[in-house]
Amino acid sequence: MKPTVIGIRIREQRKRIGLTQAAMARELGISPAYLNLIESNKRSVGGGLLKRVASILDVNLQTLSGAAEQRLSDDLRALSADPLFDNVDPGENFAEEIIAKHPEWARMMLILYQAYLDRSRALSVMSDRLNRDTQLQTSVHRMLTHLTSIRSVSEILNDAEEIEINQRQRFHQLLQTESVELTNVAQELVSYFSTQKSTNPTAAVAEKVDEFIISRQNYFPELERASEELLKEIHNTGNNELDGALQEFLTEKLKIDIRNETISKDKGARYKNQSRMDKDNNTLFFLENAPVITRRFQMMRVASEVVCKQALEKIVSDPRLSSFAARHQAKRALASYIASAALMPYDFFMETAETHRYDIDVLQQKFNAGYEQVCHRLVTLRKPGAEGVPFAFMRADPSGYVSKRFPLTRFPLPRYGHVCPLWPIFSTFQFPGKIARNIAEFPNGDRFLMISRSVRKPPITFHDPPVSLAIMLVCDIIHGDRLVYSEGLDFKSQKNLLRVGPSCNQCAYAECQHRQESPWTLMDNGH
């Protein structure tokens, strides 16, 4: 896949504590030559060996693996694969070298590149809007029509000296009417642009929020605590049954009205997740067919937004969430985090997950939660000292659009461009509801267990197309034996390995029939 920064860190730390390569190799039970390869990033290190290295060097795994630097390195490599740099050869280890010598420059480059992508997207959106926005097209058409009349009539008034007085008056009247109409259209347009608000935050905003959550390892201890407090308050209503207590808490304590709305074809867009919060009237609406799981989660999310407002505000005041849209979207995502933590409390969820070997079906039933909700919660199990299996998470739609991503240090999810089409997440659309498990091998030999399944949000009515999404959890193969999904899979066999890459431009499988772009490593060699 790519060289890592682990080797560099091992060497630095070893030298810092005054340990020779030979001595350390002896303690590890490996040859000095092999340790040298590891320190030169020519061999990957993981699992038990990495734990022993961390123990000898007296550092924690997180520090050693340099997760933050690794992400930086992945992003730099993705940047260098942009066709913009087709004729530039950055060198094999350019990312690690820049990060080692000038980490702030690396960050600045990425900020600049992100800004470039944001502007490019904004331009595309504007261009798309100009070309496809029906309201804009209608307004422009009306403007041109009025302008046509004004131009034609004014030319007549200017050219036709012999024109009769009545006719002249009529054309003056036309000119005035058309000018007023033109003004009206112009004002409508100004008002249209000034009131236009996108309810779908742009991809750039989503990326900022993603990056922020990734930088926190998708674990927020302050929100875990907030969820415990929230749950206590809800149970204080005296109602022992959670759904009833939640409803009572919202209506009695928070004065939020809960209403059902009848199903109709035109409500699909307004009812994302079959619910809608009307903040002006403090009312939470559900479509009448919204299932219990959805109702419970959305009620908890709304309660989190109100009760845990301070905790949420504090977290989203992070300077990385620089725009209002980013803070707004982050707050929404983190309120969902609290809801998820309240419905699946950390310690109990963790214990249940371990007992049932991370069987998502079992967890769904134990916690009355949806498939995606359980997967989300599994990714947050990063409490120091009580960590679950580290999972990467990805959600995509049938077009390949990745709407949620959480990478792992050794399993980068490319931030820019497409991912490898061979990832099993995409083929799950052909088998709705069925879990697929695969052992995937990357070109550098790294192996991962991939657990994929598509989920289908039910359509509002027969006439609405259902929303299909695929979700994939990925963990390093070293954790595979803790998962029910590894049962019956032969980890040692080469036969059933799924050979995949990160994305075409970062993949070294030269003979792949699915390749759409040249790999950046080969570009300068004329391949």
Partner 1 sequence: MATQPSNATLNKTVLIVEDELHIIESLRFILQRAGYLVHEVHDGNDAVNSVRAHIPDVIVLDLMLPNKNGFEILKELKSDLALSNTPVLMLTAKGQQQDRANAEQLKVDAFITKPFSNQEVLSCIDHLSKR
Residues at the contact surface with partner 1, assessed by CB under 8 A: 140-141, 144-145, 147-153, 155-156, 159-160, 162, 167, 170-171, 174, 177-178
Q: Whole-number minimum distance, CB 124 to partner 1, in Å?
A: 18
The answer to whether 237 and 248 have CB atoms below 8 angstroms apart is: yes
Type of residue found at 7: G
| Dist CA 313 CA 330 (whole Å) | 10
Q: Which is nearer to partner 1, 185 or 325 (CB)?
A: 185
Q: Whole-number minimum distance, CB 145 to partner 1, in Å?
A: 5
Q: Which is nearer to partner 1, 176 or 264 (CB)?
A: 176
Nearest of 418, 423, 420 to residue 402 by alpha carbon = 418
Q: Which is nearer to partner 1, 63 or 169 (CB)?
A: 169
Q: Whole-number minimum distance, CB 134 to partner 1, in Å?
A: 13
Q: Whole-number minimum distance, CB 181 to partner 1, in Å?
A: 9
The CA-atom distances, in angstroms, between 130 and each of 134, 139, 403 are 9, 11, 25
Q: Which is nearer to partner 1, 145 or 202 (CB)?
A: 145
Query: Within 13 Å, how many C-alpha atoms sit on residue 235's CB side?
Result: 9
The answer to whether 455 and 361 have CB atoms below 8 angstroms apart is: no
Q: Which is nearer to partner 1, 153 or 460 (CB)?
A: 153
Q: Whole-number minimum distance, CB 147 to partner 1, in Å?
A: 4
Long-range pairs of 90-98 with CB within 8 A, sequence gap ≥ 24: 92/3, 92/521, 93/3, 93/41, 95/2, 96/3, 96/5, 96/8, 96/41
Nearest of 438, 435, 432, 491 to residue 420 by alpha carbon = 438
Q: Whole-number minimum distance, CB 125 to partner 1, in Å?
A: 19
* List of residues 6+ apart from 287 with CB closer than 8 A: 260, 261, 263, 267, 271, 274, 275, 460
Question: 43, exposed or middle or buried, with CB in 10 Å at 0-12, 13-18, 19+?
Answer: middle
Q: Which is nearer to partner 1, 174 or 497 (CB)?
A: 174
Q: Which is nearer to partner 1, 150 or 250 (CB)?
A: 150
Q: Whole-number minimum distance, CB 155 to partner 1, in Å?
A: 5
| Dist CA 435 CA 472 (whole Å) | 10
Q: Which is nearer to partner 1, 104 or 164 (CB)?
A: 164
Q: Whole-number minimum distance, CB 151 to partner 1, in Å?
A: 4
